[in-house]
């Protein structure tokens, strides 16, 4: 399914309005130690995939315009809070085409500014007028689950016993749940039944799992200019991904030999060697099929969306699947 003009125009409009509203957020001038990095983060050129999903789900069910934008901004800030802290833990140098906060300033500044961004997200989600308590509970439950996912991500580093199922649980928590709550909030803000809300959440979770597996691949097969961030940090940190787990399970001896060789190389040297090995052993095609499985599961949940409103979410699903960064 190729994205049509109407869809592309809608996506561009959401991205532009999100960026505009982020710049319009009222922040104090002092202390600059806190608020300068927060402003810096809000000026970053992210893809705004999460606000887009909030908007499209809310559009499908006729949500109040104010609630829709407030919620979209809240989830984007929540996402950026996680990125600021993740970048510290992963020691990444670039994010959204600019230096990460801890590289532009320092780790203490980044920790504090990440906390500030999260608190602002709380102020925003508390402003919704329709089912505010349910919206806040869903938002905070998702936040804690994302933190659990990041904890598993750190626990699994250099753990050569991690299974594919354990990895998939980790990506569900780390990435899937945030996309899940974006769609779920559309159901909450439009007074949908618990069943519809759950299926919207399931749509986002499955799409998020596909997104994270794909992100792990792009970390190896993209380039820094396209991605707008540093590559290879997962490989350097010994993080477990679908690529590394399947490589280890299918070719244990060859994988051990490769790991030893990669450990002697710089990140820039290791990535091309890793790419070649994965392609030669057909790990890439196996992971691509895994991604397609979760995308198909996500598509099935869209049956709860009114048919005449569904096509934008169907296009969104394809956009996520076919992204290059």
Percent of the chain with pLDDT over 90: 75
Q: What is the pLDDT of residue 202?
A: 98
Q: What is the pLDDT of residue 90?
A: 86
Q: What is the pLDDT of residue 228?
A: 54
Identify which of 298, 301, 80 has the alpha carbon closest to the alpha carbon of residue 176: 298
Q: Determine the Cα–Cα distance for residues 54 and 14; give it in Å rounded to an integer.
A: 10
> Which pLDDT tens digit goes with each residue over 284-313?
999 999 999 999 999 999 999 999 999 999
Retrieve residue 102's tokens: 């801890």
pLDDT of 18 > 70? The answer is: yes
The torsion defined by the Cα of 294, 63, 77 and 211, in degrees rounded to 10, comes to 10
Answer yes or no: is 212 within a domain: yes
Hunting for tokens 């689950």 — which residue is that? Answer: 145
Q: Which H/E stretch holds residue 138?
A: helix 132-155
Higher-scoring residue by pLDDT: 4, 289: 289
Q: Determine the Cα–Cα distance for residues 131 and 251; give it in Å rounded to an integer.
A: 51
Q: Which domain holds residue 194?
A: 7-316
Q: What is the pLDDT of residue 11?
A: 96
Q: Tell me, what CATH number does 304's domain have? A: 1.10.600.10
Answer yes or no: is 2 within a domain: no
Identify which of 238, 239, 236, 218 has the alpha carbon closest to the alpha carbon of residue 227: 218
Report the chain's mean pLDDT, rounded to a whole number.
Answer: 92
Answer yes or no: is 55 within a domain: yes
Answer yes or no: is 180 within a domain: yes
Q: Determine the Cα–Cα distance for residues 161 and 99; give it in Å rounded to an integer.
A: 34
Q: b/e for 61-100, b at 16 or more Cβ within 10 A?
A: bebeeebbbbbbbbbbbbbbbbbbbbbbebebebbbebbb
Q: What is the pLDDT of residue 237?
A: 67
> Which pLDDT tens digit goes with each residue over 95-124?
888 999 999 999 999 999 999 999 999 999
Answer yes or no: is 183 within a domain: yes
Asked whether the beta carbons of 273 and 261 are under 8 A apart, the reply is yes
Q: What is the pLDDT of residue 265?
A: 77
Mean pLDDT calculated for residue range 10-14: 96
Mean pLDDT calculated for residue range 221-244: 71
How many domains are contained in the chain? 1
Answer yes or no: is 321 within a domain: no
Least confident window among 9-18, 234-243, 298-307: 234-243
Answer yes or no: is 324 within a domain: no
Give the pLDDT band (50/70/90) at residue 233.
low
Asked whether the beta carbons of 138 and 185 are under 8 A apart, the reply is yes
Q: Determine the Cα–Cα distance for residues 52 and 58; give it in Å rounded to an integer.
A: 10
Least confident window among 4-8, 62-66, 255-259: 255-259
**125: exposed, middle or buried (C-beta count within 10 Å: 0-12, 13-18, 19+)?**
buried
pLDDT of 229 > 60? The answer is: no
Retrieve residue 111's tokens: 């920790």
pLDDT of 86 > 70? The answer is: yes
Retrieve residue 177's tokens: 């749940």
Q: What is the pLDDT of residue 273?
A: 86
Answer yes or no: is 325 within a domain: no
Mean pLDDT calculated for residue range 80-93: 92
Q: Determine the Cα–Cα distance for residues 70 and 128; give it in Å rounded to an integer.
A: 7
> Which pLDDT tens digit goes with each residue over 183-227?
999 999 999 999 999 999 999 999 999 999 998 899 888 776 665
Q: What is the pLDDT of residue 149?
A: 96
Q: What is the pLDDT of residue 291?
A: 94
């Amino acid at each position: 399914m190729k994205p049509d003009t109407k869809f592309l125009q809608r996506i561009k409009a959401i991205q532009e309005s999100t960026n505009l509203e982020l710049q319009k957020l009222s922040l104090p001038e002092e202390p600059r130690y806190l608020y300068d990095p927060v402003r810096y983060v809000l000026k970053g050129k992210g893809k705004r995939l999460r606000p887009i999903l909030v908007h499209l789900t809310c559009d499908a069910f006729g949500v109040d315009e104010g609630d829709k934008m407030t919620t979209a901004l809240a989830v984007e800030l929540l996402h950026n809070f996680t990125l600021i802290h993740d970048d510290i833990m992963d020691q990444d140098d670039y994010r959204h085409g600019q230096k990460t906060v801890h590289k532009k300033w320092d780790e203490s500044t980044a920790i504090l500014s990440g906390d500030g961004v999260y608190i602002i997200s709380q102020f925003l989600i508390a402003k919704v007028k329709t089912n505010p308590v349910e919206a806040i509970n869903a938002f905070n439950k998702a936040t804690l689950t994302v933190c659990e996912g990041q904890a598993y991500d750190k626990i699994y580093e250099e753990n050569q016993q991690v299974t594919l199922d354990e990895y998939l649980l980790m990506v569900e928590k780390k990435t899937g749940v945030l996309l899940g709550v974006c769609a779920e909030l559309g159901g909450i803000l439009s007074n949908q039944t618990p069943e519809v809300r759950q299926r919207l959440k399931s749509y986002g979770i499955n799409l998020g799992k596909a997104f994270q597996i794909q992100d792990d691949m792009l970390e190896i097969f993209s380039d820094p200019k396209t991605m707008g961030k540093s590559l290879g940090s997962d490989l350097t940190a010994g993080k477990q991904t679908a690529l590394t787990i399947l490589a280890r399970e299918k070719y244990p001896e060859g994988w051990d030999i490769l790991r030893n060789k990669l450990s002697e190389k710089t990140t820039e040297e290791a990535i091309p060697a890793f790419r070649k090995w994965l392609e030669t052993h057909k790990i890439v095609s196996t992971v691509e099929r895994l991604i397609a499985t979760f995308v198909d599961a996500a598509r099935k949940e869209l049956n709860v969306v009114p048919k005449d409103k569904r096509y934008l979410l169907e296009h969104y699903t394809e956009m996520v699947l076919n992204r290059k960064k």
